[in-house]
C-alpha cells in the first residue's frame, strides 16, 4: 500500500505551512508524528519489515540497523500523511539508534531483548551495591556502549560511502550520546522508580550523589561527542527530556530535581529558548520549567488538558500534543477525527504556537487510515483566521 497523492504538491504545502509557522504568521496547525524504529521493527507487515528483523538483529549488527533505518524511512515517506517531505528525498539519512537504553547500558546495566517490545534494561543498583556505583564514578565518554555508538557510526560511514537507496545517496545522521533522557529518568532506570523516590527522603546523601554523578557524566559525554563529531563545543539553546518527573509534585521538583536541570541548562542552554520532551502528564510542572529553565517549547504526552495548558502557559509557548496513541491504534477513523477536532477547538491554537502530534510516539500497528484521519482533521479544523488566533 502507498499513498495516492501528489507528493510534489504535498511537499510544497508543507514548506509553506512550516515557513509561516516559524515566522509567527501560521496558516494552519502543522502535524508531526513521533516515529521511532519500533514502528517498523515490531511490525509483522512485510512492507514495513521486509526481512523480519528483530531488535536483537538491529542492536547487535550495524549493517542490519543501517538497512532497516532506510526501509523504515521509505515506508513512512510513502504511507503516513503528516507535515514532512514525502516521497524520495535527495539524500537518505541513517541514524545510529539504541532507543532509550543507551545511557543505562553505558552505566553497565544488562540489556534484555523482549519479544514484541523494545529492548530494555532492568534496574542494576541495589541497596548493597549503590555506594560502590557512586565510588566508581561515571564511565569515560566512549566506554562500553558509547564505544559501540562510535563503532556503528564509523561503520555507517563506510556503508553510506558506497550505498544508494532507490537511486539516492545515503548520509550518516545522529547518534545517541549528544543529549539526555533526563537525570531523574535515568536514576529511575538505574535504581527503580520506587527505590529512587524512597531514596529522596530515606537516603538523601545517596540520591544527591547519584544525581550529581549523572549530570556531570552527561556533561562530559556531550562535550566529548561534540568534539568527536566536529561540532561546536558550546551552545546557548538546548533540548532535553526527563519523563519520570511526572511522578513528583511541583514542590519536590523544585527542591530535588530542578537544581540538576538548571545545571544542564546553564551548561548547554543558558540563553534559550530551550525545549523539553515529557511523555505522560507532567503539565503541573510546566510553568515552573518555563520560568526556571527558559523553556519555550513543550513536547507533551497523555493525558493533557490542552485548553487548560494553553491558558497556563500563555499564547507564546509552543506546545506539541494530540490524541492518545491508543485512540490512534485501535479507534476508528471517525473517532480519531473527532478527537483531533476536539483538541484543536479546545483553545490550544490561541497564539499560533500549537503543533498536532500523537501523544506520544506512534504505536506499532496503527492503521494508516487513522493517521490520515488526523491529518484531514488538522487541515480542516487547524486553520487560522486573519488574526492568527485559530478563530
pLDDT number for residue 1: 59
pLDDT at 390 over 60: no
Number of domains in the chain: 1
pLDDT at 391 over 50: no
386 pLDDT band, cuts 50/70/90, is: low
260-275: average pLDDT: 98
225 within some domain: yes
CATH number of the domain that residue 97 is part of: 3.20.20.210
27 within some domain: no
Strand partners, 356: 31, 321
Instruction: Kindly list the distances between the CA atom of residue 289 and the CA atoms of 179, 261, 293, 295, in Å, as whole numbers in the listed order.
Output: 18, 9, 5, 6
Please, what is the average pLDDT of the chain? 96
pLDDT number for residue 2: 86
pLDDT in tens, 176-234: 999 999 999 999 999 999 999 999 999 999 999 999 999 999 999 999 999 999 999 99
Q: Which one, of 391, 247, 299, 367, lies nearest residue 1 by Cα?
A: 367
Phi, psi of 28 (to 5 degrees): -160, 165
By residue count, the chain amounts to 391
Which residues form the domain of 225?
A: 88-233
Q: Which one, of 121, 129, 81, lies nearest residue 105 by Cα?
A: 121
103 within some domain: yes
53 within some domain: no
Q: Which one, of 268, 321, 260, lies nearest residue 289 by Cα?
A: 260
287 within some domain: no
pLDDT number for residue 385: 84
303-323: average pLDDT: 98
320 within some domain: no
Phi, psi of 198 (to 5 degrees): -70, -40
9 within some domain: no
pTM: 0.95
182 within some domain: yes
Amino acid at each position: 500500500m502507498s499513498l495516492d497523492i501528489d507528493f510534489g504538491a504535498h511537499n510544497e504545502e508543507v514548506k509553506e505551512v512550516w515557513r509561516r509557522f516559524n515566522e509567527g504568521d501560521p496558516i494552519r496547525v502543522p502535524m508531526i508524528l513521533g516515529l521511532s524504529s519500533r514502528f517498523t521493527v515490531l511490525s509483522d507487515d512485510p512492507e514495513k519489515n521486509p526481512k523480519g528483523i528483530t531488535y536483537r538483529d538491529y542492536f547487535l549488527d550495524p549493517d542490519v540497523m543501517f538497512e532497516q533505518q532506510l526501509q523504515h524511512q521509505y515506508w513512512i515517506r510513502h504511507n503516513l500523511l503528516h507535515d514532512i517531505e514525502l516521497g524520495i528525498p535527495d539524500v537518505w539519512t541513517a541514524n545510529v539508534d539504541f532507543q532509550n537504553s543507551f545511557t543505562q547500558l553505558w552505566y553497565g546495566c544488562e540489556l534484555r531483548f523482549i519479544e514484541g517490545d523494545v529492548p530494555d534494561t532492568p534496574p542494576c543498583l541495589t541497596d548493597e551495591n549503590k555506594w560502590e556505583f557512586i565510588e566508581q564514578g561515571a564511565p569515560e565518554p566512549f566506554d562500553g556502549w558509547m564505544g559501540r555508538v562510535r563503532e556503528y557510526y564509523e561503520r555507517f560511514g563506510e556503508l553510506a560511502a558506497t550505498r544508494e537507496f532507490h537511486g539516492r545517496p545515503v548520509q550518516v545522521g545522529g547518534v545517541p550520546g549528544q543529549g539526555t533522557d533526563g537525570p531523574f529518568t535515568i536514576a529511575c532506570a538505574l535504581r527503580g522508580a520506587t527505590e529512587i523516590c524512597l531514596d529522596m527522603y530515606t537516603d538523601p546523601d545517596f540520591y544527591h550523589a547519584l544525581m550529581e554523578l549523572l549530570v556531570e557524566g552527561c556533561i562530559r559525554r556531550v562535550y566529548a561527542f561534540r568534539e568527536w563529531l566536529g561540532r561546536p563545543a558550546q551552545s546557548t539553546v538546548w533540548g532535553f527530556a526527563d519523563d519520570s518527573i511526572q511522578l513528583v509534585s511541583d514542590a519536590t521538583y523544585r527542591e530535588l530535581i530542578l537544581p540538576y536541570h538548571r545545571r544542564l541548562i546553564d551548561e548547554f542552554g543558558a540563553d534559550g529558548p530551550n525545549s523539553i520532551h515529557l511523555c505522560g502528564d507532567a503539565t503541573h510542572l510546566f510553568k515552573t520549567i518555563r520560568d526556571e529553565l527558559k523553556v519555550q517549547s513543550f513536547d507533551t504526552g497523555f493525558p493533557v488538558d490542552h485548553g487548560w495548558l494553553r491558558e497556563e502557559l500563555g499564547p507564546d509557548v509552543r506546545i506539541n500534543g494530540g490524541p492518545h496513541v491508543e485512540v490512534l491504534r485501535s479507534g476508528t477513523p471517525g473517532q480519531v477525527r473527532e478527537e483531533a477536532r476536539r483538541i484543536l477547538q479546545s483553545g490550544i491554537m490561541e497564539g499560533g504556537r500549537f503543533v498536532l502530534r500523537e501523544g506520544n510516539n506512534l504505536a506499532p500497528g496503527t492503521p494508516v487510515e487513522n493517521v490520515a484521519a488526523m491529518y484531514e482533521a488538522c487541515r480542516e479544523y487547524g486553520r487560522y483566521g486573519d488574526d492568527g488566533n485559530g478563530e
